[in-house]
Chains A and B, each alone.
Chain A
């Protein structure tokens, strides 16, 4: 009896050990890169080359940050990330608002104004969510060229809005389905028009999914690289493209601290969104996972 007790306790202890062991290993794998990125960005170049890459910085300096922000060179122009950060903002804000707004309208029409062929439309929208963008890259470039938008921020806004609509429509459709039809029908009988119903009933009820949709779109568009690198060049690039260009400068001693600071700057907006509204971020993922 005693030995059995002992072996059970030992089994439990081994279980604990396995749990903590795997957790520490996982934590190291997931945390080390983040840790190295943050600490490296706060060190001076001499300290990095002096070989203390893993510890805390001996003296914290924001030199690399300011360099990455306003002095680092991309090709021959040494403007830092600042103008590209602005580019990304100019791209992301209208694209998020437009795709969320249109998505909300679409979701509303698809659920509360059912019409013949709405299933087909829905299928088309799902198709848009899954389609590999590679398959549309070249024709898209030509459409942008015909609209005289190639290589411009509005061109990127258009692309991101169009492909964002698929996701946002899905979000809103799945959310509006849960609002009882009786509510909108009653409002209609009371004489409320299309927009009245939309703005007084649907929109107030849809605030949570609106936050989800905005956050989802924001992170997707901010982090996009494929469209940015394919459709823009030079001054009109979004920040992801600029980041890659800064890091790939090969002249002279590699400025690791500037690279890491640049990576941090590029990631900062989405990290802030994630820290402030992580709950909604996760909800977007869960909603998005249904679609894939």
Chain B
């Protein structure tokens, strides 16, 4: 209870602090350069030059403290030893290059990168196309979309249950094993099958992200000019041609956006692996490996930071591409 009231107190202070800053600084500005009297014109001009900074200032300060500084701090740390005191140069990176777990993580991340964005976009496109054409499509859509509302942790918990294993001869409670044994196979511990288990983890993310791809792509499909489709039909195009030759080429831009968005999610993938296997049985990924080094056992901040920067380096090209796109679109 004490902690709760402390939390509430801090939060109220924070909120009031923000409000007080915005109101107060604005009042002071109006007092220094009042917008009436002899110099009203110049005063307004001057005040207007300062004013944006009053409001955007705190945001910039916060972003600097919480975005820019941490990135540089991580770089600095990745060049130091476990405790962050002694300079070790590129030793942490050299160690990474030789570490088996790191190599496994990189390979798994690449595997995720190849499979998940492609599968989620493909299924999303399929679902968008199919649901637009049938009567109860909207209901189907809302169900396919529903996993988007569930946290990755929640999804991990649910799917762990789907993959659940019990010894041979017992009733299988996990959905997958129940189906599998119904076809006469012995039950499997899906999450420990080497290499294959990665795909069982990926299925969870595909399950979540398809709804996202579907919603965005469905909007794009509906935005395709009717004339192009009619013309193709008049020319005798069959449904497949219509879809792959007429519709898909017209929404390439959106497909690329969906693909890259999911790609960024995949590079940072953490929760699902953490909850379901915690990187055991050959399923380690970079983000979870980093968490291991930073927060588990004897923390090594140098190595942890080095891994974090590898993740960042992988995300950067996609990030730059996306920011460029976004700016072009918005500045338009």
Residues of A near any B CB (own CB < 8 A) = 11, 15, 19-20, 22-23, 26-27, 29-34, 36-37, 40, 48-51, 53-54, 86, 90, 94, 97-98, 101-102, 105-106, 108-110, 113-115, 118, 121-128, 130-140, 142-143, 149, 152-154, 157-159, 162-163, 165-166, 169, 173-174, 177, 191, 193-195, 219, 222-226, 229-230, 235-236, 240-241, 243-244, 247, 256, 259-260, 262-263, 266-267, 270-271, 273-274, 278, 281-282, 285-286, 289-292
Contact = CB atoms under 8 A, between A and B. Distances in A.
A86 B143 CA distance: 28
B267 interface: yes
B190 interface: no
Nearest to B136: A23
Interface string B149-167: 1111111111111101000
Interface stretch (B97-105, B193-201, B303-311): B303-311
Nearest to B174: A53
Interface of B: 3-4, 6-8, 10-11, 14-15, 18, 22-23, 26, 30, 35, 48-49, 51-53, 55-56, 58-60, 62-63, 65-71, 73-74, 77, 123, 126-127, 130-131, 133-134, 140, 142-162, 164, 171-173, 175, 178, 207, 210, 212, 215-216, 219, 238-239, 257-258, 260-261, 264, 267-268, 270-271, 274-275, 286-287, 290-291, 294-295, 301, 304-305, 307-309, 311-312, 315, 318-319, 322-323, 326-327, 329-330
B315 A49 contact: no
A94 B4 contact: no
A115 B46 CA distance: 12
Q: What is the predominant secondary structure among interface residues of chain B facing chain A? A: helix
Q: What is the predominant secondary structure among interface residues of chain A facing chain B? A: helix
B51 A194 contact: yes
A72 B128 CA distance: 41
Contacts of B178: 53-54
B294 A128 contact: no
A114 B51 CA distance: 10
B181 to A, nearest CB: 11
B263 to A, nearest CB: 9
A284 to B, nearest CB: 11
A30 B63 contact: no
B329 A290 contact: yes
A285 B212 contact: yes
Contact of B52 (A36, A113, A222, A229): A113
Contacts of B275: 244, 247
Contact of B171 (A50, A121, A177): A50
Given A11-B238, A135-B74, A225 B329 contact: no
Which residue, B6, B23, B142, B146, has most C-beta atoms of chain A within 10 A? B146
A235 B4 CA distance: 11
A32 B143 contact: no
Contacts of B162: 32-33, 36
A158 B62 CA distance: 10
B157 A30 contact: no
B130 A23 contact: yes
A278 B330 contact: no
15 contacts: A19-B130, A32-B175, A33-B155, A36-B158, A90-B7, A115-B52, A132-B315, A134-B307, A134-B311, A139-B74, A174-B330, A225-B274, A244-B274, A260-B158, A290-B326
B67 A128 contact: yes
Nearest to B275: A244
Given A115-B49, A153-B7, A259-B161, A127 B67 contact: yes
Given A11-B238, A19-B133, A33-B159, A274 B14 contact: no
A90 B8 contact: yes
Contacts of A267: 149-151, 154
A171 to B, nearest CB: 12
A260 to B, nearest CB: 7
A240 B146 CA distance: 18
Given A30-B210, A191-B35, A226-B271, 16 more contacts: A19-B130, A23-B140, A29-B207, A33-B159, A34-B143, A54-B178, A124-B63, A126-B323, A131-B319, A132-B267, A135-B70, A139-B74, A194-B26, A224-B151, A244-B153, A281-B149
Given A36-B162, A86-B4, A225 B152 contact: yes
Nearest to B211: A30
B312 A135 contact: yes
Given A30-B144, A121-B56, A270-B151, A134 B268 contact: yes
Contacts of A163: 66
Nearest to B206: A29
Contact of B152 (A30, A136, A223): A223
A192 B167 CA distance: 74
